[in-house]
């Protein structure tokens, strides 16, 4: 999908972190007395189960007050919410079902006067195990009785004009065994899918990295997730595209919301609304694919055919959803995914070259049949399609794309590793587009499509450890680190394949993807940290779903939360 404009990032979107709405349980437990002293038998049975666990919060006052600091065992660091706003919450994911017998809140001066301690099996439905309207700060050492995977402090009335702030939030109990019915299998922040050995992550506590992603996600969600047309649909709006709704954006939304399950209690609801959108907007060529563009009335336009980039992510998102929630609910995610994958193979894959076409609208004999877009070459997606379908064709497809990545780098960008937006003559000797073949005079350069390739290539490298993907990612990383002297602010908007800058300025779509490439090089910790910090100081550009969505997905990978179903 072509980016129509180059806009500098604004400051809007950092002003307020949206609160996440979480349904309250029907049953309400009565308020329990504050327990400052505990019996020896109870104390002997308790174990601290919250230390270092993933933590999310409704808001954060600012840098240095992230939610993870409430479980870091350091009473000199703290979580603090936005000031002057009720309600607020901070939630711990214990990683599995636990019985909980004790909760200890070490309040900073900004304490909760009225708050509840709540448990949940799935992060959606909450049960009170303690409630008070007369909190007075200090240390609340509470005897409770409950169970669940998740536990949160839900504050409804502040004790001061400021916010809520905890030096430490301690939970004591024991694993209770069993799963979490209805909860996600790989909740965000669980890190159940480790990366390849030697992969870097940004410096800092894991809980802090996770919290930064949640904060950015909440802003992205507020800016781009919509319910504009009724019918139970959710859409990702695309203010910087040719139409308000494009398949690329819906694909991003499906991958993101399935991945953020466990951090966003509404993730499944949003995902199902996006699924309904996909089903109700079929491609006119292959109804198992998604029509590429919709207008303000939410009706498909421009022929209603499919676009490969969006369809690749839609299929991948459905596979993530099947692993997260299973396929026995409203939608059979696995069945929809397999049909989508088969449709991509039938109508968006060139059967001769095994390279992806631009969309299902291109057919044998037309001028676009042997053109491919490098940003569609999502190697980890090919691996997921092979695993889900059992179809060995996807092994050949993966190999064909990796071969061309290596060949293009060595033949046309030996000094940079950069890939062009479009590749032509894929049936003979594939080469960068000689000029405008579809969208722009820079179709043969590293421009608004190919800017995603360091992220896409390195996503496979960090999750699979594949030598070919690692080599391609490291080539890109080595060049850009040297080109900029280790300063992310010097990453330009676009390059010729020889490294000549095309446009000045700074865009997340161009600088963020290099962070994933940096993760593949053991000697690039300082460079990765510089890129991560650049992202942290870059607000969500509410006028560009493209840049914001790319940065969010890069942050998900960089924090260790990307996984292949």
Q: How does pLDDT run across 148-196, given as a tens digit for each residue?
A: 999 999 999 999 999 999 999 999 988 775 434 457 888 898 888 999 9
Q: Indicate whether 422 and 537 sit together in one domain.
A: yes
End residue of a domain, out of 175, 194, 227: 175
Q: How confident is the model at residue 4 (pLDDT cuts 50, 70, 90)?
A: very low
d(C-alpha 395, C-alpha 412), whole Å: 26
Clarify whether residues 159 and 239 are in a common domain. Answer: no
**Averaged pLDDT for residues 243-261:** 97
Per-residue pLDDT for 36 more than 60? no
Residue 8: the pLDDT is 30
Answer whether residue 516 is part of any domain: yes
Q: What is the 3-state secondary structure (H, E, C) of 113-157?
A: EEEEEEEECCCCCEEEEEEECCCCCCEEEEEEEEEEEEEEEEEEE
Q: What percent of the chain has pLDDT over 70?
A: 91
Same-domain status, 255 and 107: no
Per the structure, the complete domain to which residue 145 belongs is given by: 47-175
Average pLDDT, the chain: 90
- What's the pLDDT score for residue 44? 40
Banded pLDDT at 114 (limits 50, 70, 90): very high
Please give the Cα distance from 338 to 322 (Å, whole number): 11
Among residues 175, 194, 229, the one where a domain terminates is 175
The one-character DSSP state at 446 is B
DSSP alpha helices (H): ranges in 348-466?
A: 379-389, 393-412, 453-464
Question: What is residue 39's predicted lDDT score, i.e. its pLDDT?
Answer: 35
Of 49-63, 128-142, 506-520, which gets the smallest average pLDDT? 49-63
In a domain, 128, yes or no: yes
H or E stretch covering 90: strand 88-107
The answer on 254 and 117 residing in a single domain is no
Q: Which of 96-110, 178-192, 392-406: highest mean pLDDT?
A: 392-406
Kindly write down the DSSP assignment for every residue of 476-497, as one continuous string.
HHHHHHHHHTT-GGG--EEE-T
Confidence label for 24 from pLDDT (cuts 50, 70 and 90): very low
Closest C-alpha among 398, 448, 397 to residue 420 = 448
Same domain, 290 and 339: yes
379, 277: one domain: yes
Q: Check whether 35 has a pLDDT greater than 70.
A: no
Extract the runs of DSSP E, i.e. beta strands, from 321-447. 372-373, 422-424, 431-432
Residue 338 lies in a domain: yes
Radius of gyration of the chain from Cα atoms? 24
pLDDT (mean) for 545-561 = 98
Whether 547 is covered by a domain: the verdict is yes
- Residue 252's H or E segment, with its range, is helix 247-259
The domain tally of the chain equals: 2
Q: Comparing C-alpha atoms, which of 339, 316, 318, 340 is closest to residue 327?
A: 318
Mean pLDDT computed over 476-501: 98
Per-residue pLDDT, averaged over 329-357, amounts to 97
Mean pLDDT, residues 115-142 taken together: 94
Sequence-distant (≥ 6) Cβ neighbours of residue 10 within 8 angstroms: 539, 541, 542, 543
Average pLDDT score over residue span 252-261: 97
**Interacting residues of 126 by C-beta distance below 8 A, sequence separation 6+:** 22, 23, 24, 25, 118, 119, 120, 152, 154
* Predicted local confidence at residue 182, as pLDDT: 57
344-361 pLDDT, tens digit each: 999 999 999 999 999 999
Q: Does pTM top 0.85 for this prediction?
A: no
DSSP string, 209-229: HHHHHHHHHHHHHHHHEE--S
What mean pLDDT comes out for the span 417-444? 97
Residues 6+ positions from 26 with CB-CB distance below 8 Å: none
> In this structure, are 289 and 422 located in the same domain?
yes
pLDDT value at 45 more than 70: no
Q: How far apart are CA 218 and CA 486, in angstroms?
A: 30
Same domain, 412 and 308: yes
Phi, psi angle pair for 178, to nearest 5°? 85, 170
Same domain, 235 and 123: no
Whichever domain contains 280, its CATH number is 1.50.10.10
**In this structure, are residues 526 and 156 in contact, taking their beta carbons and an 8 Å threshold?**
no
* Residue 23 and residue 265 in contact, taking contact as beta carbons nearer than 8 Å: yes
From 175, 198, 220, give the residue that closes a domain. Answer: 175
Mean pLDDT, residues 70-99: 93
Q: Is residue 210 part of a domain?
A: yes
The verdict on residue 34 lying in a domain is: no
Catalytic residues: 248, 309
Share of the chain above pLDDT 90, in %: 82
Contact 541, 547 (CB under 8 A): yes
Which residue would you say has higher pLDDT here, 93 or 207? Answer: 93
Residue 524 is predicted with a pLDDT of 98
Alpha-carbon torsion 408, 412, 416, 421, what sign? negative
In a domain, 197, yes or no: no
Confidence of residue 22 (pLDDT cuts 50, 70, 90): very low
- 98 shares its domain with 143: yes
Residue 16's pLDDT is 31
Looking at the fold, whether 287 and 407 belong to one and the same domain comes out as yes
Instruction: For residue 519, give the DSSP letter.
Output: T
User: What is the reported pLDDT for 177?
Assistant: 52
Q: Is 186 left (phi over 0), alpha (psi -120 to 50) or beta?
A: beta
Query: Would 200 be classed as within a structural domain?
Result: no
| Helices first, then strands: H and E counts in the chain | 14, 17
Residues 222 and 168 in one domain: no
- CA 388 – CA 10 distance, rounded (Å): 41
Q: How confident is the model at residue 1, as a pLDDT?
A: 44
pLDDT, position 65: 94
Q: What is the CATH number of the domain that holds 106?
A: 2.60.120.260
What whole-number distance in Å separates Cα of residue 378 and Cα of residue 561? Answer: 17
Taking residues 296-319, report their average pLDDT. Answer: 97
């Amino acid at each position: 999908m072509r980016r129509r404009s180059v806009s500098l990032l604004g400051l809007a979107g950092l002003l307020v972190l949206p609160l996440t709405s979480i349904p309250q349980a029907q049953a309400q437990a009565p308020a329990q007395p504050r327990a400052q002293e505990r019996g020896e038998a109870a104390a002997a049975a308790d174990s601290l189960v919250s230390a270092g666990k993933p933590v999310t919060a409704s808001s954060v006052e600012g840098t240095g007050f992230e939610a993870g600091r409430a479980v870091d065992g350091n009473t000199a660091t703290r979580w603090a919410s936005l000031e002057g706003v009720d309600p607020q919450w901070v939630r711990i994911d214990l990683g599995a079902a636990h019985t909980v017998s004790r909760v200890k809140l070490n309040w900073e001066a900004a304490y909760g006067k009225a708050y509840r301690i709540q448990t949940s099996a799935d992060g959606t439905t909450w049960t009170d195990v303690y409630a008070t309207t007369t909190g007075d700060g200090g240390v609340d050492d509470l005897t409770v009785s409950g169970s669940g995977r998740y536990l949160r402090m839900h504050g409804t009335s502040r004790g001061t004009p400021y916010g809520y702030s905890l030096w430490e939030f301690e939970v004591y109990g024991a694993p209770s065994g069993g799963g979490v019915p209805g909860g996600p299998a790989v909740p965000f922040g669980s890190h159940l899918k480790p990366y390849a050995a030697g992969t870097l992550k940004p410096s800092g506590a894991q809980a802090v990295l996770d919290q930064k992603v949640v904060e950015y996600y909440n802003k992205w969600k507020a800016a781009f997730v919509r319910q504009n047309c009724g019918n139970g649909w959710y859409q990702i709006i695309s203010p910087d595209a040719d139409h308000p709704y494009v398949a690329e954006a819906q694909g991003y939304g499906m991958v993101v919301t399935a991945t953020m399950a466990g951090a966003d209690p509404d993730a499944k609801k949003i995902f199902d609304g996006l699924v309904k959108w996909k089903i109700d907007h079929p491609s006119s060529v292959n109804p198992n694919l998604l029509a590429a563009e919709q207008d303000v009335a939410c009706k498909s336009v421009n022929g209603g055919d499919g676009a490969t980039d969006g369809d690749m992510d839609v299929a991948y998102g459905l596979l993530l959803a099947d692993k997260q929630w299973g396929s026995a609910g409203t939608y059979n995610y696995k069945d929809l995914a397999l049909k989508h994958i088969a449709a991509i193979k039938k109508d968006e894959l060139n059967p001769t070259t095994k390279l992806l076409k631009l969309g299902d609208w291109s057919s044998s004999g037309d001028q676009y049949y042997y053109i491919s877009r490098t940003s569609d070459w999502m190697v980890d997606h090919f691996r997921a399609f092979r695993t889900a379908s059992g179809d060995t064709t996807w092994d050949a497809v993966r190999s064909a794309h990796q071969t061309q990545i290596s060949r293009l780098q060595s033949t046309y960008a030996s000094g940079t590793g950069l890939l062009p937006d479009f590749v032509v003559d894929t049936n003979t000797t594939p080469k960068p587009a000689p000029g405008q073949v579809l969208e722009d005079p820079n179709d043969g350069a590293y421009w608004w499509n190919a800017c995603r390739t360091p992220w896409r290539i390195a996503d496979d490298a960090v999750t699979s450890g594949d030598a070919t993907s690692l080599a391609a990612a490291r080539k890109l990383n080595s060049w850009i680190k040297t080109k900029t002297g280790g300063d992310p602010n010097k990453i330009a908007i676009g390059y010729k394949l020889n490294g000549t800058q095309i446009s000045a300025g700074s865009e997340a779509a161009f600088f963020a993807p290099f962070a994933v490439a940096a993760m593949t090089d053991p000697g690039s910790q300082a460079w990765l940290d510089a890129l991560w910090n650049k992202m942290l100081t870059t607000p969500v550009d509410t006028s560009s779903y493209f840049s914001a969505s790319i940065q969010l997905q890069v942050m998900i990978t960089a924090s260790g939360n990307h996984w292949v179903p």
